[in-house]
A = this chain, B = another copy of it.
Amino acid sequence: MLNIGILGCGRIGHVHARSLQMVDGARVVAVADAFVEAANALASGVGAKAMTADEIIASPDIDAVVIGTPTDTHFDLIQSSAKAGKAIFCEKPVDMSADRIRECIKTVEAAGVPFLTGFNRRFDPGFAAVHARIAAGEIGDVELVTILSRDPSPPPVSYIKSSGGLFRDMMIHDFDMARFLLGEDVVRVYATGSALVDPAIGEAGDVDTAVAVLTTASGKICQISNSRRATYGYDQRAEVHGSRGLIRAENVRENNVEIANGAGFRSAPAQHFFLERYAGAYLAEMMHFIDCLASGRAPSPGIRDGLAAQVIADAAARSLATGIVVELG
């Protein structure tokens, strides 16, 4: 039985704690949060102990930590957890600075601890099936990837201001998905965007509607588009065009009911947002983490995947700012 400590008892901490209740071979023994009440609430909900993060990391009985705290605390928690020999599950983004992620990589690899970066979408049954069937050769060589992601509504402008911008906060998921589906490193990035949803987002220096084009060394191309607002639910689609066929994962609708009348055939909106759409993905992600710890396999996506997506996000932000196409190292 693996003993897990949850660092951060907000919404995502709850999701991971609940997932762990459904995973055999692991249990949540301790939780921590800067707000003691939040820690106590989750602790009593899952039958764990509320402790401080330092206590959890120092505890010899705890095998792994799940980091779901604010991004600016990730760095220190990763450093100390790795040095303490804990296996680490860290929410994305690992850090807002690629250089700091590189420092984390050194520590994590020196310590030799397992590390999973929380790119949950890789574990969505649809996207996972797309990846598996590409790997099985069903569409031949990958040539063109198209990723469309739209949130149901923008976060508060106050959040936007400290988010690192759309490319680092939102499209980062799509950059990881692009790497997952392209199966090859990205060498060139073009990105552009506009503030069409809310002018206040533009005034805050960010965009809410954006696209990126990623190219790999062998010439595979990925197009991504994002909007911070979709009236019809959480829009999460990807398709891959290959030499032998096309594969795509469509949106998941709230139910499979269709109603028809003079206005046509109407089916349900897409599931509202990530908690609904990715409920299964969060569980599968945690099962993968625990399974890796139990079997000794390396979790994937790892910390280097966290870095790679961040590097692309930085390049996209630079492309937007400068209007030029950015070549990656």
Binding site for B on A (CB under 8 A): 125-126, 129-130, 133, 138-139, 141, 143-144, 146, 148, 150, 188, 190, 192-197, 209-211, 213, 215, 218-221, 223, 225, 227, 229-232, 235, 241, 243-270, 323-325
CB-based nearest B residue for A202: B219
Residues of B within 8 A of A133 (CB): 257, 259
A312 to chain B minimum Cβ distance, whole angstroms, is 16
Do residues B192 and A265 form an inter-chain contact, with CB atoms below 8 A?
no
Do residues B129 and A241 form an inter-chain contact, with CB atoms below 8 A?
no
The 8 closest A-B pairs by CB, nearest first: A194-B219, A245-B261, A232-B260, A246-B260, A250-B256, A266-B266, A231-B261, A247-B259
Among B146, B194, B254, B268, the residue within 8 A (CB) of A220 is B194
Measured in the bound complex, the distance between the Cα atoms of B198 and A141 in whole Å is 13
Do residues A211 and B209 form an inter-chain contact, with CB atoms below 8 A?
no
Decide yes or no: A213 and B192 within 8 Å by CB, A257-B249, A262-B269, A324-B325 being known contacts: yes
Residues of B within 8 A of A241 (CB): 150, 225, 227, 230
Residues of B within 8 A of A209 (CB): 143-144, 219, 221
Measured in the bound complex, the distance between the Cα atoms of B129 and A248 in whole Å is 25
Among B143, B190, B221, the residue within 8 A (CB) of A325 is B190
Residues of B within 8 A of A249 (CB): 255-257
5 more A-B contacts (CB under 8 A) besides A232-B245, A253-B264, A262-B269? A129-B255, A227-B241, A230-B241, A246-B261, A324-B325
Measured in the bound complex, the distance between the Cα atoms of B255 and A262 in whole Å is 14
Residues of B within 8 A of A246 (CB): 230-232, 235, 259-261
CB-based nearest B residue for A152: B262
Among B190, B245, B256, B260, the residue within 8 A (CB) of A190 is B190
Measured in the bound complex, the distance between the Cα atoms of B261 and A138 in whole Å is 9
Measured in the bound complex, the distance between the Cα atoms of B196 and A220 in whole Å is 8
Do residues B247 and A258 form an inter-chain contact, with CB atoms below 8 A?
yes
Residues of B within 8 A of A197 (CB): 143, 243
Residues of B within 8 A of A129 (CB): 255, 257, 268
Do residues B264 and A268 form an inter-chain contact, with CB atoms below 8 A?
yes
Decide yes or no: A248 and B253 within 8 Å by CB, A192-B215, A196-B220, A262-B231 being known contacts: no
